[in-house]
Structure 1
Amino acid sequence: MLTDLRRKLQSKGFTVYWIGQHSGICKDKYLVLKDMGTSKTLEKNINKELIEVWVYVPISNYSTMISFKNEIEEVMYDIGDYEIAYDPLPIITDDEKQAYFTRLSYYKKKQRRFY
């Protein structure tokens, strides 16, 4: 699931990393994808696969954070496979990365498999 999403986001021009892949300080805006596991739903035979998109923007570029976040939300809507799971995290600073950070949460419905 995440591999397809990563490919789609990269094709739209985003720099995308897996969790733990990026090291050092934030020098340019980028995304990190994190698999949050699966949860059951009340719908018969349907699960939700949860993901998080972590958004990083250099500490010197706060003015671009909102537009970058909105751009990601639009692309996720256009992709069409994902729905918003939770409200976005407020924009905070990540001192270690020297960046502004927010988290976007999405889910994708998936047919349960019975073995």
Structure 2
Amino acid sequence: MWKIIFDKLEEEGLNPYAPGQHEGLCKKPYCVVKEGTQIPSLQSNRLGQKTIDIIVFVPINSYIALEPYMKSIRAALKGLPNLRKTGFETPAIPDNDKQAYTASIEYVIMKKLEG
């Protein structure tokens, strides 16, 4: 599912990266698609959820661009099957290393657990 999310964001021109892939300062908006924790459902150890964080970066001089960029990400991912927003979003904070503002949007994937 990570690849489907990544490909959808790329298809929409939203400049996605894998964790650790982006180098240098933030010159234009981009996002990092990061897998998070996997947990089983309460009723079964065969089904569960995995979190996906979309970490958003916009140049430090473009704070006003943050919300429209996040809105574009939400719109792009809205129709993907088995993916839903959790409602958790972090506030914008400055990232001095990247010279950017950053925030994140959390999603959850309903999935069959392997093993």
Segments of structure 2 that go 5 or more residues without pairing to the other structure are none
Counterpart CA distance in 2 for 1:93 and 1:100 is 4
User: How do 1:43-62 residues align onto structure 2 when only pairs under 5 Å count?
Assistant: 43-44=43-44, 45-62=46-63
Q: Which residue of 2 aligns with 1:4?
A: 4
Matched, 1:82 2:106: no
Letter in 2 for 1:101: T
Compute the TM-score of the two structures, normalised by the length of structure 2: 0.90
Counterpart CA distance in 2 for 1:80 and 1:12 is 17
Identify, as 1 or 2, the structure richer in helix: 1
Counterpart CA distance in 1 for 2:43 and 2:110 is 10
Counterpart CA distance in 1 for 2:27 and 2:58 is 8
Letter in 2 for 1:70: K
Segments of structure 1 that go 5 or more residues without pairing to the other structure are none
Compute the TM-score of the two structures, normalised by the length of structure 1: 0.90
Percent identity over the alignment is: 27
Stretches of 4+ moved more than 3 A in 1?
Answer: none
1:51-101 deviation per Cα after TM superposition (whole angstroms, max 9, x unaligned): 110000001111111111111112221224311224200011111100010
Q: Cα distance 1:65–1:110, how it changes in 2: closer, same or farther (>3 A)?
A: same
